[in-house]
């Protein structure tokens, strides 16, 4: 694959609801980078599985991901807890990960010309997808803080789910994402840990910006 030269690449991994998406969006806006929320692709496939249980084949996934437009990832239906659970199940599958990998590589290394680079967030971005990224962050927060944040998001979306159910669901997903065989979530030595438990969005971004500016200005 042809890679655009001299672009800024930012790789972020995090457990669910740690604030990685928020920070990735702030980074993309400030530095004019193309943003890809890779979890949304797994959610898209997870929903595909829920909608086509009997006809769910690798061919279907390949075709759907091959034709996937970024706009389709903004679908609110992808935000439900059922879709998140389904996504984390299908994400264990190596063949499916390989299909998603191709799509992500294009976004990461060949972002549209109007952008100065790319920022991707997910579970295997610092370990597999963007190993050679210019910046690597591992964003984390305690399980309780994450569950509270996700619960508030669901409330805003009018989703009927209790705090306890959110907590349980995140705990199960954390375990599955960290212990799976292919592309497990883990912090690497060469990534910078940002713990968002006690930090505001603004304070978090300030930290990240300081790290990035130091390197970019050199």
Beta bridge partners of 35: 119
Q: Does 173 bind ligand C5P (CB under 6 A)?
A: yes
Query: How many residues contact ligand C5P, by CB under 6 A?
Result: 16
Q: Does 150 bind ligand C5P (CB under 6 A)?
A: no
Q: Which stretch binds ligand C5P (CB under 6 A): 35-43, 69-77, 141-149, 202-210?
A: 35-43
Give the whole-angstrom CA distance, residue 10 versus residue 96. 23
Q: Does 49 bind ligand C5P (CB under 6 A)?
A: no
Q: Does 8 bind ligand C5P (CB under 6 A)?
A: no
Q: Which helix (H) or strand (E) holds 36?
A: strand 34-37
Quick note: the x/- pattern for ligand C5P over 72-111, rule CB under 6 A, is ------------x--xx--x--------------------
Q: Which residue has the tokens 């050679």?
A: 132
φ, ψ for residue 140, nearest 5 deg: -140, 165
Least Å distance between CB 218 and ligand C5P?
A: 29
Q: Does 130 bind ligand C5P (CB under 6 A)?
A: no
Give the whole-angstrom CA distance, residue 202 versus residue 42. 28
* CA trace torsion 53, 174, 181, 51 (10° rounding): 10
Query: Cα Rg for the chain, rounded, in angstroms?
Result: 17
CB atoms within 10 A of CB 188: 12
Can you tell me which of 34, 48, 108, 123 binds ligand C5P, judged by CB under 6 A? 123
Q: Which stretch binds ligand C5P (CB under 6 A): 123-131, 137-145, 154-162, 189-197?
A: 123-131
Which two three-digit tokens encode residue 202?
Answer: 């603004």
Contact residues for ligand C5P, defined by CB under 6 A: 16, 38-39, 42-43, 84, 87-88, 91, 122-125, 173, 177, 183
């Amino acid at each position: 694959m042809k890679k655009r030269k001299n672009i800024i690449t930012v790789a972020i991994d995090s457990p669910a609801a740690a604030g990685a998406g928020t920070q990735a969006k702030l980074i993309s806006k400030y530095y004019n980078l193309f943003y890809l929320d890779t979890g949304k692709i797994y959610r898209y496939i997870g929903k595909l599985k829920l909608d086509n249980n009997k006809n769910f084949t690798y061919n279907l996934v390949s075709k759907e991901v091959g034709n996937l437009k970024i706009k389709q990832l903004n679908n609110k239906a992808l935000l439900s807890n059922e879709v998140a659970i389904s996504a984390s199940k299908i994400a264990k599958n190596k063949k499916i990960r390989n299909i998603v990998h191709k799509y992500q590589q294009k976004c990461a290394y060949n972002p549209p010309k109007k952008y100065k680079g790319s920022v991707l967030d997910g579970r295997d971005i610092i370990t597999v997808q963007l190993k050679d990224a210019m910046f690597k962050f591992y964003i984390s927060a305690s399980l309780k803080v994450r569950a509270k944040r996700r619960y508030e998001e669901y409330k805003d979306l009018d989703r009927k789910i209790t705090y306890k159910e959110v907590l349980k669901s995140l705990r199960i997903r954390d375990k599955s994402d960290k212990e799976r065989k292919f592309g497990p979530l883990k912090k690497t030595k060469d990534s910078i840990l940002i713990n968002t438990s006690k930090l505001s969005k603004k304070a978090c971004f300030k930290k990240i910006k300081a790290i990035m500016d130091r390197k970019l200005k050199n």
